[in-house]
Structure 1
């Protein structure tokens, strides 16, 4: 096999452009009410009791009648809406369990479980699911589930408060993974309950203050941490982060920063409601963050927001659909950028990939995959900008996947939309689960918000692609949704001259809202179909030689050279860089024939660095005034690289003669042997003697809830926030490094 693909598979990938060229997309539902896709089909039969039977490739599935109903000309559409509710009923449980908590014993909780294979409550899965649709369906269960992810502090010496839990993530979770603020995206839907609103306000203040201290970069104005949901490092970050996550902890993710922006907006709103003086500060922080996101993540040559940027704001030619969709729906993207970033994000016949470009060396999971909940957020974003082709594409993909799989699966392979493809070590999706909660919620939102246009406040604003007119309406004049004591009915237009159906007028008839549709021309760009599937292979660390003219960087190909995260320029063979006054770190990306850059290779660092052995405290004298980078050689074996609650988090206390004291966070995530901590930047006067001490910070094992964590250390036996430090390293800080 070449690149891990069979000849048949390579042929299939090569034919994608041919199969899809010139088309917007094929209708997901035929006029006869079936789905046909790559030799597979699904259809639906109605039953006398109001239920349905789905006829799919894996066999028949009986679907009982449900409380919420749609009435269209398509039994398949009506039945799949019922199937999503049936899936949700199985995810609505009285007890949850996971092998990492209470030794796998059941924990009583009237909660939403994550899926058939994930019978637990996870912060991000739950929060996105509630935001998408579950707040409408079962508000009490949604609140109870969210409360399960809040915790006070069990460690008396740690700052007390009510915090959202980062329950999973790289290197011992928070603060390498920092998307726990997604909790507030779901909570914002449920604030009509005063007690829950009070808990939300308490947790919001405490969690935002903690993130401001430990993960906010004052120089860039951004929050550090891993991409939200994309938490399988080597699938989306450089392969070398599989065993060293420091790069991830010092990088900045679009999705996670947008979630912080939304949390700050919510904090400002709640503060105003409570006449709290902090409202002004929260407003200012939100607006500054919005500006910083647009300043650092927008890549003009691609016309898209980057998925993440490296330390020092190093641009990375990588993109993810959830981050882009959140930037659009949150208002972080202005209207022009919102249209542009969606139009430039690639599509394949089966749907939209969650990341682009794909990784040739990784199995299918986040890589080469469609995730329905992300497609649902993309659909929301497309509605914001009236992108009719993208609206239709996401709706087609969500419906087709559920119909053919007989459940709302967690993910699908990108080209085939299969729940599994066999390709040896690249087979996948590696993990997949029926009735995955956020996929269920995504399907419900596709119907309620996507087809019928029901907004958060109950207003009806349909934006239905014309390609869905025939299968949904057939020969009838009206389709309807019964939702929580009200009926929303859409009336077909008298004529069709356009690609998007919107409201011409609407009126109330008792409990029914009747919307007369009209067709408009959206003017949206066609889907981007010409993008290469894979990015270039990542290079290794560059060879850097000391020469009289400077540092000579050698590379056996065409690429781009970065120094301390700053783009220096194209390199073809070699490039000489002047020596600076600081320790300099060189990284390369490889250029593909289409101009797409690979992910960055490992860094080669050159220049002087002081190494002070021991566990501290340490003393060091600054030869000249300036800013200095401080890091530590350490080992943290308290948990695996991919999860845990025991990333060691310290506060570096610095006292230099003639200067004010400084306290800067330092993170020592789970490691494979000896490695380097995150970098703290300090200032020192010329000739000053500086004294350094590492004080205890805060990590997730300090939370009372994690007394239930039995998967690794930091659980029932007590908090663990420790690492074996061997030395402190000091060097002049590069330009643009983070300020304390």
Structure 2
């Protein structure tokens, strides 16, 4: 087995010569490098503690006073997801007061008196104008759950939890799927892990479903159930039902039995085709939350591929895409994979992730934001695809992930002070060397691991425990571990996405010409497998049919083409409201043409969020529709409704809610909807209505 020292290749950068004068913690092992890197992580954590924060898009780039954690050397602000994942990994237990201050910075009242009032978690600037294109702000509660021994903070969390969950339920939940819509958490650079064409149109993302984001909603619902129970609040039963249903929907909708993996995302609800895209964070979160049943949890992590020096954050990689999330490994994601490996007792994966975290930090001389996938370098030249495109030293969640690797991954320190080591034997031999014991020394507590008399099994666990004052000694013995083998691969690439299917109306139906190697999906169901180029005819239907294509090479399927829907449709013009008569009984799907030029496709806070007030005879309902930033005319998210034949229907738009309504964004100066006031507008055109099955 390769030793720790040998695994750290010769081309290394020097480590800083000065660490924090008195580090709060230290490890004492036979590996000087292991102990040294732990000190480095603590030094960088101290450097991430600031009294003021700054970002180019806030407060005219003037600093905000805030006793907070900044995000990294290049990122001097507090971002909801970065902070929350870092707090869940380590910050909440290491510096609870600064963590609470940082988390409070991301809570906000409503500044728009015309909108429902409450306390909400802010979704940061992002794809298509932020929430509800991106909906992973609930990650805030993953962090807050560790800090509820403070009654005041617990009350704030309880209030924000109820208000945020209710708002997401209204605007982002799809009852037909039992899932929350929105972008993958952290993987928020559209074309890095979504089809390349989403770089110019994020409506698809707004009506898709992501594994990671749904698991975060599940965790938030479980926290709400727990907090409601502690308060004797009758909503506990409601939250329990919602959490149970969401867990079942996630396991049902995202699991691919043919791959033994959970898909990263899919969508939309009217054409939910399977997607060949998997991500390590979503997989790890599903395992840790208990969403994945044990057998599937073990399979999913065992089947998720690794490369020589770590684990890719997405698989397969996307072609013609620069290195960032694509073709990369991210230390904080590796830290969650390590947690998931411990949960499934996957000895090889535990060792692989620990070595990866050590090697990356040692070679770079810092806990970096990310690394190129095959070399674990901080930058690789590849012409226009060079990267990582952005990289920062002492990235907060990387620092937190490294500290968690030492505390939890090696010494077994779990939540609430529980100690449960699971240490691969090959790694243990190097950390112990000739020592009888290794130890983790922390303020007020010391954890000692004592080697077994004989090295046994692939994995060492606790055989016996002695407690002497503030010192806990764990006697290691054979731990139970299922037989697993790492699926080692290189940078496996998916084929490029094909163009959208082109269907021509004929007397016999709809004629399509499919290139060789193309699969056709109709309403999310595989219709035609790839073979030679061919023509085919789809029979005409009384219902709308939505078509998408993929390419296949080397048993890997591309991401889907844009979706094209064919069949009967009605187009309803007009101002306010629009009127239409139902031609038959049944379900219908509709969307608006619109233009929202209030910000660029990749950032901002002014995604237009509307409520469509539908009245069809005696039937009334209100449904949300989202119009993300797009400077050219495009389609809104779709919505469903039912009508009886001959019913006269009216469709009126009312303002919903977007992030510009929050007081948090009063100081947003990087675009519209901030200092200039709330903004929730779009130029709305034709309403298209189609019969749905």
Tell me the TM-score range normalised by the shorter chain: over 0.9
1:551 corresponds in structure 2 to 510
Matched, 1:689 2:660: no
Shift of residue 531, structure 1, vs aligned partner: 6.9
3-state SS in 2 of match to 1:667? strand
* CA offsets 1:191-226 (integer angstroms, 9 cap, x no match): 000000000000000000000000100011000000
2:389 corresponds to which residue? 430
Task: Please report the TM-score for the alignment, with normalisation by the length of structure 2.
Answer: 0.97
Alpha carbons 2:530, 2:552 under 8 Å: kept = no
Q: What does residue range 313-712 of structure 1 map to in structure 2 within 5 Å?
A: 313-520=272-479, 522-530=481-489, 533-572=492-531, 573-574=533-534, 575-593=536-554, 595-657=555-617, 659-712=618-671
Shift of the alpha carbon at 1:548?
Answer: 4.1
Q: How far has the Cα of 1:169 moved from its partner?
A: 2.1
CA contact (8 A) 2:8 2:362 kept: no
Ranges in structure 1 where 5+ consecutive residues have no aligned partner: 1-24, 42-56, 736-740
8 Å contact kept, 1:243–1:672? no
Secondary structure at 1:124's aligned position in 2? helix
Separation of aligned partners in 1, 2:319 and 2:590: 36
1:73 corresponds in structure 2 to 30
Q: How has the CA–CA distance of structure 1 residues 75 and 531 changed in structure 2, closer, same or farther, with 3 Å as cutoff? A: closer
- Alignment check: 8 A CA contact 1:73 1:476 kept: yes
How far does residue 563 in structure 1 lie from its aligned partner after superposition?
1.6
Counterpart check, 1:97 vs 2:69: no
- In structure 2, distance between residues paired with 1:105 and 1:71: 43
Q: Which moved more, 1:512-521 or 1:484-493?
A: 512-521
Distance 1:344 1:497, change over 3 A: same
- Is 1:212 aligned with 2:169? yes
Q: Quick one: which of 118, 121, 126 aligns to 1:169?
A: 126
Deviations 1:535-583 (A, max 9, x none): 1111111122334443233211223211222332414334433322222
Match of 1:53 in 2: none
User: Secondary structure, in 3 states, of the residue corresponding to 1:61?
Assistant: coil
CA shift at 1:35, angstroms? Answer: 4.9
Check the 8 A contact 2:588/2:691 in 1, yes or no.
Answer: yes
Match of 1:731 among 664, 672, 690: 690
Deviations 1:369-421 (A, max 9, x none): 01000000000000001000000000000011011111100000000000000
State how far apart, in whole Å, the 2-side matches of 1:672 and 1:301 are.
40
Aligned to 1:284, which of 230, 241, 251?
Answer: 241
Matched residue of 2:128: which SS? coil
* Aligned-pair Cα RMSD in Å: 1.3
Question: SS state of the match for residue 129, structure 2?
Answer: coil
Kindly indicate whether the alpha-carbon contact (under 8 Å) linking 2:52 and 2:63 is maintained by their aligned counterparts in 1. yes
Shift in Å at residue 609 of structure 1?
Answer: 2.0
Output the CA distance in 1 between the equivalents of 2:503 and 2:650: 34
| Runs of 5+ consecutive residues of structure 2 not aligned to the other structure | none
| CA displacement at 1:60 relative to structure 2 | 4.9
Hey, what does 1:12 align to over in structure 2? none
TM-score by length of 1: 0.91
Report if aligned partners of 1:386, 1:524 keep a CA contact under 8 Å in 2. no
Residues 1:62 and 2:18 aligned together: yes
SS of 2:515's partner is: strand
Instruction: Give the conservation status (yes or no) of the 8 Å contact 1:162–1:207.
Output: yes
Contact kept, 8 Å, 2:422 with 2:479, in 1: the verdict is no
Give the match for residue 16 of structure 1: none
- Residue 524 of structure 1 and its aligned partner are, at CA, apart by 2.9
Number of residue pairs the alignment of both structures matches: 688
Q: Distance in 1 between matches of 2:136 and 2:205?
A: 13
